[in-house]
Homo-oligomer: A and B are copies of this chain.
């Protein structure tokens, strides 16, 4: 018997944990992992190289690992000073096997797939998630189909192909690639391993919070500022911090702030209570957060409320300026999506949401090496 079930994030309906369940059968909302036995007789296998507080994971066997997690946390003294903060930390998520934090989620999602005997999966992505799924699929011996928009950057599609996934290039918007992936998985009867919908993917990203608690003992940051597209890292951080708080291992949860690009700001709009729809042909340099219709929007809004977080949008020119500042002041070559969080941080400081006596952590979610250098 499994130590987990899947629970609807909205109506709370519970169902057995299997790999093909992505939405609630009652209300069609996304699912989350729920642990049945809070003190299981056989504890979950832990991530490799992890020596901190035990992390509940939806696994029975060891995680399929490419070396993800345990990313460094470095102080950014120059940028902290520039912003007038007590302390600024970057958690270098780009030091992940395929170059982004997505590897945390993929490792757990693909481990579950292996446990459940899955042999072929479908995913849609324009970049980091596709590369991540392709790499772990190679490691675990599962055939992967990755649907990407024809407009996706060649370097990112090249990386997806390198690991051996079959890539399907789809004309039209990012959403067209999602539709094509959904059609294909239904037609072929394959598992749709969507990083945006899979409850196992979000569950994997929570190790991010456990590591922060472990690395910053006694000086937990007051704020964590996250670039948000579909929100898997944002939601994973909340899940991790909540578990740590519930078990008394941290005294409080940092405020979790959500940064979007102004061309794709459905969460910011919902947070502000304004109408928003994507403009046809909308573009941003921050490709990792160009999500017009995040399926977990309501969960994200609850986390903003419960953690006293703020959602705001930033312009591309600010993103590019911060990408340069990160490289030239801190020696960190981040992708524009990561730089967006720093641009947002600047707004949060200017508007007084973050005070000068406070400490802030920002995940540097992806490497700059997959995009063209900043102009």
Q: Is the CB of A327 within 8 A of B138?
A: yes
- A138 contacts across to B, CB distance below 8 A: 327-331
Q: Is the CB of B327 within 8 A of A97?
A: no
CB contacts under 8 Å to B, within A261-296, are none
Q: Is the CB of A70 within 8 A of B67?
A: no
- Among listed A19-27, A348-356, A366-374, interface-contacting one: A366-374
By the criterion of a CB under 8 Å from any partner CB, how many residues of chain A are at the interface? 45
- A164 contacts across to B, CB distance below 8 A: 327-328
Q: Number of copies of this chain in the oligomer?
A: 2
Q: Is the CB of B136 within 8 A of A331?
A: yes
| Of listed A159, A161, A327, A374, residue having the most chain B CB within 10 A | A327
- A178 contacts across to B, CB distance below 8 A: none
Interface flag for A48 (CB, 8 Å): yes
Interface flag for A72 (CB, 8 Å): yes
Interface flag for A95 (CB, 8 Å): yes
- The residue of chain B having its C-beta at the shortest distance from the C-beta of A110 within the complex is B331
- Digit string of A210-241 for contact with B (CB within 8 Å is 1, else 0)? 00000100000000000000000000000000
- Listed A/B pairs (22) with beta-carbon separation below 8 Å: A48-B74, A66-B330, A67-B71, A67-B92, A70-B70, A78-B141, A99-B367, A99-B369, A134-B331, A135-B331, A135-B333, A136-B331, A138-B328, A138-B330, A138-B331, A139-B330, A158-B373, A159-B333, A161-B373, A163-B327, A164-B328, A369-B369
Q: Which residues of A contact B (CB under 8 A)?
A: 48-49, 65-67, 70-74, 78, 92, 95-99, 134-139, 141, 155, 158-159, 161-164, 215, 327-333, 367-370, 373-374
